[in-house]
Structure 1
Amino acid sequence: MRKPMKLTDLINAIIQIMVDTGFAEGTIRIYRGIFSRLQKLADSRKEEVYSTNLGLVFIADTNHPETNEYCHSRYCYHCRIIRFIESFIRTGVVDWSINSGAPAESFKSQDFNTMFLKFDEMMLSRGLKTNTRDGYHRFVGYFLRYLSDKGYQSTHEIQNGDVVTFIVVVVQEHYSSTSLGSHVPGLKLFLQLTEHTQPFVKEIPVHLPKKHDILKVYNDQEYQRMIQYLENAPISSRDKTISFIALETGLRAVDICNLKLRDIDWEHNAICLIQEKTGKPLVLPLNESIGNSLADYLLNERPVSQSDYIFLRFEAPFAPIKSHAACYRILFRIANNAGVESNGRIYGTRITRHSTASRLLRQGVPLPVISEALGHSNPDNSMRYITTDDLKLAECTLPLPRGGECDVM
């Protein structure tokens, strides 16, 4: 049997493969720092050889050292380098993929491991999207970890109040109360797996707190400033195309990342896609600014690749851009370089989507048409964009009674 490599040798081998593959120096520097965290953890545990348990402990270290609060980017980086190591040990080849989901979590309780596996299989059988599965998987993993910390060995030991208490704890440690609504359905699905856990579904709150802020958007002057910057600035055609698509169509980041070469209908000047969030088809106009920058990117800048995805990374191994963060960084640079101040607003495709709807509304486009252009599954979703238009809001207010017309109580 081949003697296992020391962790230091594994790390050095993977970093050398990164260098040989052509990863950017900045990217390698980031991963060196993360590998260093893993090495320090191994040293503190007096472990020279990588083990699955070491990897799980490293992945569980998700809190930022300064704030001691959950840091999602830290979690993702830790998952990624553990996948690098485990794929290299298993096959001799490093799995560079970005969205492969989190490595399987392991519990001391065999019952928990079995239930967790059944839950993942159930999500796959239902055809849930990858991002949804990853979110549910992580949330249910926290729940099982919470039960393990209570000393439970089986889901048969769950008692009244455990689900409610877990939700309180998970809000304090990992999630804001306003983001909980998108993860709790995963816990509900998990509890519905067996008859003995089904009764605890009723402990999940029916109404979770939600924020209903007035949507913040780019005004017409800011929009024009960014368009002019894109038209004149010496930036990459890839980033220019992504920005034009986001600003002029309001397309979601996940759908921009998922665009494939076959989605572009050059003959009819259209972009035809199936939306990731709704699963519904959407046809968008391929206007002059998007079409010209896209053609320039495909002909002169896009790396040679067998990938069907349009937008690829500039560094080897030239993987598709598959994360919201990539779109966020591109749009942040564009807005910042165009002189558009944030003023408390978020960057990324969320604000460009809201801004597109708001701009169409100001131009007098009916809400049902806006809803169709944005690919909403429910036309009523467009109603929230009224909050971005002061004139529309004014039309919705009730007139104040004139002096003397108020009833005296």
Structure 2
Amino acid sequence: MSKLQEIVNVVLEQQKQLLAPSTYEARKNYLKKLAAFADEKGIEEPCQELYDSYIARATTPDLRFQLFHAVRLVDKASGTKAFTSEGKLYNEPEILSSEEADRINHTVEFPISDGSLDTGYLIRKAEQEMKYLQLSFSTYWQYMQAWRELYISLYLRGDTMFARNKCISFIEDTNQKSRDGLLHEWKRKIRRRAVLVLIEVADTGCFKWKLFTSRKICCQEETLEVLRQQYLTFLRTQNLENRTISLYDYSFRVMIEGLGVRNVSCLNTMGPEQIQSMLVFLSERLSLNSRGTVFPIVRQILSYLHSAGFVVADFSGMVLTPACRSMHLRPYITASDEDNLYQAMENSPLRNKAMMRLALRLGLRDIDVCNLRFSQIDWKNDQIVLEQEKTGVTLCLPLLEDVGNAIIDYIMNERPAAAKNYPFVFVRQQAPHKKLESMYTVCSRLFEKADIKTVNRDSHGTHVCRYTLTHKLLLKKVPHQVITDTLGHISKESDKPYLSMEEQMLRECPLGFSLIGQKYWEEGECHG
């Protein structure tokens, strides 16, 4: 008797205890046919090839279901861990239930050491810890799916016990699939975030929502990642803002990618040729303005690597900041394009419509729109009074009817109820309902939807709305002091870039061509 026949007999005994006689006879028929089909093929043990060939015989959906179920039972009993034609396991491993997790919860101490606890427990623990976020069903499902994929990958390796290096390896595999075009970017992000949540729960026993920027695993080789973390630690000692550290981190990562080094020891053997290749790589990847920002940072990184002993020579002198001609003309949109923009806003979320009206009609900066609080809106007197984030100066603006209506519409009909006690007006649409850090994406997508082409230069940021308002005020001959007060400037120097938008006055400034070629000195006259 072959091993397959033995497993089929075991499955039949199990099914006989579970099924009604008529159902059992039908199941028995398809299992016997599977064993007979294996004899015809000369296959003695359960395997992927047998399963694929057997199910391929199905000519109807109902028959395929019966054959599939027979294969699934044999696969489970034999532990072959075979895959369906869709790339899924016939029998996915069962994650620890919430009830089982609760029973062992009081015996668990944090941080959890590697190999001491099944990953399924941590998944249930993380699920409990994230309840306060009030995630939507779809977002919750995405997290669970990512955890399930991690658990399956551990199961296929033969061990579902939690280990941090296995989790990091799963992230690296996911990143590689994304680079190879086998995985969508959104799925890479949710997998990475779900795993980092799991690691935090294993370390602390709880989870607090955050952006996982500082713990981002970027360098594929371990020694390079250790060097990166060492560099980030050095930056934190320099009392730098988190955004500045993120910019330096990005510059470090793209520099390492451009150098093409395999590990830290390769840095010690670098030559000028590699530095040159790296600069070419960055030049092709970055815009001129971005190169003007990143190149000086790369220069500092190279000096750091030399002083820390990772590079034999100081190559920072090879990195020159590219010359970037300052563009004094500010971008704005024409009246017709502004009409197109308002039309595009009609089908947008209410939050986006309200934010864009604040930017277009009142000229508020991006950060002031995102940080707008309920306490700063004076509904009784129809005005907005806020302290500008950039200058710290208080600004008082009229609450225009269309702007006020757009804000009310958002608050009453779209703003999440879970954020009712949150002081900021505009919040994320998905949990956790925190305030937005920037509305650049909101603005740029609307510009793209309305096919907006800005005057003077291509730009899609929120400041274009501010410039557009200024341009309209200048066209209407509004006094400069009123414009200064509207924009919230504290210095006349701040107004100078905006004055370049006063086109009629600029046309009166250039000299004519009549003076070209005329002489203003006598022959033989000496000017010394």
Q: TM-score, normalized by length of structure 2? A: 0.55
Q: Distance in 1 between the 2:513 and 2:174 partners?
A: 61
Q: Distance in 1 between the 2:179 and 2:202 partners?
A: 27
Amino-acid identity (%): 17
Alignment pair present for 1:324 and 2:439: yes
Change (3 A) 1:153 1:319: same
Change (3 A) 1:58 1:229: closer
Alignment of 1:7-406 (within 5 A): 21-23=134-136, 25=138, 50-56=166-172, 58-59=174-175, 65=181, 80-91=193-204, 96-97=209-210, 99-105=211-217, 107-108=222-223, 112-113=227-228, 115-122=230-237, 125-126=239-240, 128=241, 130-144=242-256, 149=261, 151-153=263-265, 163-172=275-284, 174-191=285-302, 193=304, 196=307, 200-209=315-324, 212=327, 215-223=330-338, 238-264=351-377, 269-275=383-389, 278=390, 280-281=392-393, 283-289=395-401, 290-295=403-408, 297-298=410-411, 302=415, 303-305=417-419, 306-324=421-439, 326-328=441-443, 332=446, 340-343=450-453, 347-365=460-478, 370=483, 373-374=486-487, 383-385=496-498, 388=501, 390-401=503-514, 406=517
**Contact preservation (8 Å) 2:295, 2:320:** no
TM-superposed CA distance for 1:351, in Å, is: 2.6
Q: Distance in 2 between the 1:266 and 1:365 partners?
A: 27
Q: In structure 2, give the amino acid aligned to 1:318.
A: H
Change (3 A) 1:354 1:157: farther
Query: Structure 2: which 5+ residue stretches go unaligned?
Result: 1-112, 520-528
Q: Distance in 2 between the 1:284 and 1:401 partners?
A: 49
Secondary structure in structure 2 of the residue aligned to 1:272: strand
**Contact preservation (8 Å) 2:236, 2:245:** no
Q: Distance in 1 between the 2:128 and 2:508 partners?
A: 61
Q: Distance in 1 between the 2:158 and 2:294 partners?
A: 37
Q: Which moved more, 1:101-110 or 1:311-320?
A: 101-110
Q: Which moved more, 1:79-88 or 1:220-229?
A: 220-229
TM-superposed CA distance for 1:121, in Å, is: 0.8
**Contact preservation (8 Å) 1:273, 1:283:** yes
Secondary structure in structure 2 of the residue aligned to 1:108: helix
CA RMSD of aligned residues (A): 5.2
Q: In structure 2, give the amino acid aligned to 1:143.
A: M
Change (3 A) 1:45 1:103: farther
Change (3 A) 1:140 1:394: same
**Contact preservation (8 Å) 2:252, 2:298:** yes
Q: Distance in 1 between the 2:149 and 2:443 partners?
A: 27
Q: In structure 1, give the amino acid aligned to 2:307.
A: H
TM-superposed CA distance for 1:244, in Å, is: 1.5
Change (3 A) 1:283 1:213: closer
Q: Distance in 2 between the 1:44 and 1:407 partners?
A: 87
Secondary structure in structure 1 of the residue aligned to 2:237: helix
Query: Structure 1: which 5+ residue stretches go unaligned?
Result: none
Q: In structure 2, give the amino acid aligned to 1:132.
A: T
Q: Distance in 2 between the 1:75 and 1:244 partners?
A: 34
Deviations 1:377-402 (A, max 9, x none): 98656555456565355334442339
Change (3 A) 1:386 1:92: same
- Structure with higher RCO (Cα < 8 A, 6+ apart): 1
Aligned residue-pair number: 387
Q: Which entry has the higher C-alpha Rg, 1 or 2?
A: 2
Q: Distance in 2 between the 1:131 and 1:304 partners?
A: 29
TM-superposed CA distance for 1:65, in Å, is: 3.6
Aligned to 2:80: none
Alignment pair present for 1:3 and 2:117: yes
Change (3 A) 1:367 1:164: farther
Change (3 A) 1:282 1:206: farther
Deviations 1:66-122 (A, max 9, x none): 9xxxx998986675445444335445655544x452524464158724641333313
Q: Which moved more, 1:101-110 or 1:252-261?
A: 101-110
Q: Distance in 2 between the 1:199 and 1:139 partners?
A: 18
Change (3 A) 1:387 1:36: farther
Q: TM-score, normalized by length of structure 1? A: 0.68
Deviations 1:235-287 (A, max 9, x none): 76533321221112333333322333444466873332342xx4644524142
**Contact preservation (8 Å) 1:120, 1:137:** no
**Contact preservation (8 Å) 1:265, 1:272:** no
Secondary structure in structure 2 of the residue aligned to 1:270: strand
**Contact preservation (8 Å) 2:332, 2:468:** yes
